[in-house]
Every structure is written in C-alpha cells, then in structure tokens.
Structure 1
Amino acid sequence: MAALTVAVTLCSEARLGHLRAQRVRLGRLAPPVPHVVVWLDESPAPEGAGLEDAVVVHVPPGPDGLRLAEGRNRGAAAARALGASLLVFLDADCVPGPDLVRGYEAAAARHPGALLCGPVTYLPEGASLAELDRDPAGLTRPHAARPAPPAGRTVVARDGDHRLFWSLSFALGVDTWARVGGFSAEYEGYGGEDTDFAFAAHAAEVPLVWVGGAHAYHQWHPTSSPPWQHLDDILRNGRVFAERWGSWPMEGWLAAFEEAGAIERRGGGWARTTRAATEQPA
C-alpha cells in the first residue's frame, strides 16, 4: 500500500470560520490530503459546516469540558482506518503553508520514528489570509520560543526540550503514535494534555525533531494572557500532570496567576486563594 498522509483537526463551532479557511488551503495542496475533523461540541457538526468531504468524528465534552486529548485519539483512529501512514495534526486556528505536508513527509522519511514539529507564525490582528497568499514571506514570523530551522533542514531537539512541544502543528507516523500510546484521556478542558504527550514520547525514547519549512499560520483571534477563563482547567489538569510526571506544566501561567493573587502554593501544588476571581483582576 502506498504511503498516505492524513490531516487531523479538532474543532468546535466557535472556530468553524477558521476551520473553513484551513480546509480551503488543505484543498489547494497537490495532491490534497484526506481530512479528519473531530467535532468537540455537545451537538454534532451543523448542516452547512462545509465538511461534506471530510471524515467527521463527534466527541462530545466530558464532565470537565472539551475532550481534546480523547478527540485526538479518536481522530488518529479514524485516520488509521483510512489507511494513514503519517498523521498531521493541525489546530483549527492554523492554516497550512504550501509546503507543510511535503515538509513533514520529507522529515518523516529522514527521521522515522520521530515526533515532528514545524514552525508556527501567529498572524497579527488585521492580517488577512489573502495577504498571506500574496506575500507569505512577508508575514512569516515563526514564534521565537521554538526553533525554526531553514526550509529543508531539520534539527533534533536536545534532551529536555520535549517540554517545548506544542500541538498547534505536529506530525508522526502511525507506528510512532502507537509507540507513544496516544494522548492521555485523563485530561479534559484546557491545558496540559500536549505537554503530557511530549513527556510520554520522551519516556518512549521518541525524539522530537524541528522541521524547517513546514510552516503553519495561526489566524488571529482575541486571547487573554494568562487565560483567566481556563484557570480551573489549568489547575485540574496541572494536578493530573504532576501526578503522572512529578512536576507542574504551564509554569508561566501559574506564575502569572500567583502574582495576581488568584492561586497559591499549597502542599507542593497549586490551589485557588479565597479571594480568587474567575476573571482577570482590574
């Protein structure tokens, strides 16, 4: 059987507009790749969502929120059922650059058995995708917190750098996915599941490789930093992570919450203070 690359995206109705833009650009790839869309809302994807030629998997929320970890597991299973040999995961907010899939495929051939991460550019407010199409080089500004090798080059991450993995754009072979064991379904709601996956990859001796030229572009939307609306999710998922790996993830956000007086150290972990609010303090 010929090698087959399948793209997998998690989405909810709040990000449907971004997903549509992603699907347009996936469809421009030559050849286009099959697309699995995991729908995370309580209700199935609405009619007219533009998913007619995608494989749609419905994974409703759990008691503690959206099931991103289990959604990726179900998406990977659906991709494997299509005959996938390489899984390319894209955040719903991200559109692929023209060389994203080719870059991941070349890196997978060069580094079989690796977890692959391409550079991600956060597009500024007001930047249109039409502008990106006209002048991709002018808008390509990979996030400075991760390595971004030149196009055509790869860099094997140093020991200890698996913590830098993020799930906005990544790829791996189906055998490597099985070796890692997928994402832990203990995580519900926002945060922690992607770092857990990276730690599981490290424990399974799966190298992390930065892939030059496999660009993705994160479409702008309003955010808060730290993400106050996800404070309880971060605390809950942080505890899950600490129980599994012996340390807390998302340290920058935890420090910001602590500085604002919303959380405090308690018993080796973190907990809300009595004066904590659900919104960012004025």
Structure 2
Amino acid sequence: MNSPVTVVTLSDAGRLAHLVRQAAAIPPGVGHVVVALGDAEALADALPDSEVIALGEFSLAGARNLGGDVAAKRDQGGAGMIVFLDADCLPGPEMIDHYRLALDAHPDAVVAGPVTYLPDGDARTSRPEPHPVRPCPPPGTLLLADDRGYELFWSLSFALTTDTWRRIRRTFGGFDKGYTGYGAEDTDFGQHLRHHGIPFIWVGGADAFHQWHQVSDPPWEHFPDILRNAERFHEIWGFWPMRGWLEKFADEGALVYRDDRWVAVNSKLATTPHPTGGAQPDRLPPRPVK
C-alpha cells in the first residue's frame, strides 16, 4: 500500500506534552490530523507539521468522524490508510507497518493493535506489555474477532482503509453523536461493525504505548455521562457496556440494578472528591447483567 497514511487524534491543550511526543514519533511521510476539542490555537502553535482542525463543540464521536473525513479527503483513490490514535498514545516503531500489511491482506477490515499502559515518567516505545484483557497475537500474526470479540473494540488505536471509512460513513454514519460527553461511543462503533459484517482483526506487533496520566477509578467526574450513555447503548444493543465502572459505582452506593436498569440512588457521590491514580482502562469482566 503506497497510498497516503494519516494518523488522526483528538486533543485539547491538557494533553499537549503527550501530543507533541506523539507527533515526534510518527514516521516521516505519515500525515497527522489533530481534531481540537478546545485550545485549537495552542495546539496549532505547538504542532506546526500537523493539521489542526477546530471542532466547535465537545463531541468525541463528532471529533472522530471529522478527523476521519479530513483524512479521507487527502486520499482520493481510497486505498490509503487512516489510523485513529488516542492523544495519550505513542505509536510503536512498527505499528504503521503492521497495520499496513494487515490492511493489504484484508482491505475491508477494521484492524486494531495492542496497547501498553506506561508508568509515570516512562515514554518508551519498546518492550510492550499489552493490557491483558485485549487480545495480543504474536508479532506478524492476525486474530479475527468472533461476535463477542467485537465488544473489546476500543478507540485507542485502530486503522482502516479510506474506502472502508467512507463505506462506514455511508452505512451507519461512523461514531454515533447521540452518545454525549464521555463513554460508550467506541463500544457502540464496535457493535455496528459486527452488525454490518465488517471484519475486526487484532494485529500482532502493531503496538501503541499509552502515556501515564491521573484518573479516578471509577471516573466519578463522568458519572452522569457514563450512566446516560450506558442506557442509550443498552436500548440499542440489549446489553450493558462499561460494566466494570457501573459495578464500581454500585459498590460505592451511587447505583443499584433494578428491573433491568441501572438506577442512580446517590448521585451526590459524583461530586465528592475521590482518590486518583494512574491511567487504566475499564476492565471487562464477563457480562454480569443483560
């Protein structure tokens, strides 16, 4: 595949240091599109070689759709590659090449690679230690997801051809802007891939490295968004996303599960200060409720 390759990411100035490291780690000749969720001027000043686009609203789904569309306009032929990479993620030195080889073999698929969560102060792009919940095939091998495997789709690092992105936009619109604030829009995207028969493949060796930042676990600052978006997802797909977080909110007294619904019983807990720690993704246990 000798067509254009573009990395798309979303950010604001709060992730600027991480984003500058990301831009420096992207191989020469690969485009970099940054959709600004705020602070567009600051991002543009710090990233002179990147294309910074102001979104005009806070919508993770809308930002990914815009970024994908901007990248697609760079590739009139359609055989190029779009890589969606979280602002906190550094591309491993072979990530682009492994994605490219996977899409050469499976141009109609969406492909994803392992992500290593780094400790504080570490910005390495070698010695991967991938998150254990997601598949991690050996480098140079591919693993096709089964139906349940689509639930493990996340937007930290994935790639697809420009033609596939355009087909997704025509078929189901891309990421659903009905998910507002934080949470579930990427899990919903994965279910649309399954529903529309688009293969989802894990790519060994396409490693990304997530730089450390503080988080709360569960993320209380996003409590209303998570509950609202989980309800929307359940109405569409019939099971609950973000189950690890919902159960943690319940364990701390903010939610109860009643009549096949998560019900807020003490939302004031969401405004109470809670301890923070290093960035870790939501863990995905077997479905406890449906």
Q: What TM-score do you get using the length of structure 1 for normalisation?
A: 0.89
Matches within 5 A, 1:163-174: 163-174=151-162
The letter for the 2-side match of 1:178 is R
The letter for the 1-side match of 2:186 is D
Partner of residue 39 from structure 1, selected from 32, 36, 39: 36
Compared with structure 1, are the counterparts of its residues 171 and 48 closer, same or farther at alpha carbon in structure 2 (3 Å cutoff)?
A: closer
> Shift of residue 184 of structure 1?
0.7
The letter for the 2-side match of 1:34 is G
Q: Does 1:87 align with 2:75?
A: no
Q: Which residue of 2 aligns with 1:252?
A: 244
Gaps of 5+ in 2: 276-290
Distance 1:114 1:37 in 2: 24
Q: Does 1:51 align with 2:47?
A: yes
The letter for the 2-side match of 1:100 is M
Per-residue CA shift, 1:13-40, capped at 9, x if unaligned? 11111100000101xx2x4301110001
Q: What TM-score do you get using the length of structure 2 for normalisation?
A: 0.87
SS at match of 1:240: helix
Matches within 5 A, 1:219-234: 219-234=211-226
Partner of residue 269 from structure 1, selected from 249, 254, 261: 261
Distance 2:44 2:34 in 1: 14
Greater alpha carbon shift after TM alignment, 263-272 vs 202-211: 263-272
Q: Which residue of 2 aligns with 1:111?
A: 106
Gaps of 5+ in 1: none
Per-residue CA shift, 1:61-97, capped at 9, x if unaligned? 3xxxx31101000001100111162110000000001
Q: Which residue of 2 aligns with 1:21?
A: 21
Distance 2:211 2:267 in 1: 35
The letter for the 1-side match of 2:115 is V
Q: Which residue of 2 aligns with 1:151?
A: 139
Q: Are 2:44 and 2:51, in contact at CA under 8 Å, matched by a contact in 1?
A: no
The percentage of counterpart residues that share the same residue type is 44
Distance 1:275 1:100 in 2: 42
Per-residue CA shift, 1:43-69, capped at 9, x if unaligned? 5332763222222211133xxxx3110
The letter for the 2-side match of 1:95 is L
The letter for the 2-side match of 1:32 is G
SS at match of 1:76: helix
Compared with structure 1, are the counterparts of its residues 115 and 46 closer, same or farther at alpha carbon in structure 2 (3 Å cutoff)?
A: same
Compared with structure 1, are the counterparts of its residues 228 and 55 closer, same or farther at alpha carbon in structure 2 (3 Å cutoff)?
A: same
Q: Are 1:180 and 1:206, in contact at CA under 8 Å, matched by a contact in 2?
A: no
Per-residue CA shift, 1:211-264, capped at 9, x if unaligned? 011110000111121111111110111122122212221011101101110112
Q: Which residue of 1 aligns with 2:9?
A: 9
Q: Are 2:151 and 2:187, in contact at CA under 8 Å, matched by a contact in 1?
A: yes
Compared with structure 1, are the counterparts of its residues 240 and 49 closer, same or farther at alpha carbon in structure 2 (3 Å cutoff)?
A: farther
Distance 2:198 2:44 in 1: 40
> Shift of residue 193 of structure 1?
0.4
Compared with structure 1, are the counterparts of its residues 59 and 275 closer, same or farther at alpha carbon in structure 2 (3 Å cutoff)?
A: closer
Runs of 4+ in 1 over 6 A off after TM superposition: none
The letter for the 2-side match of 1:175 is D
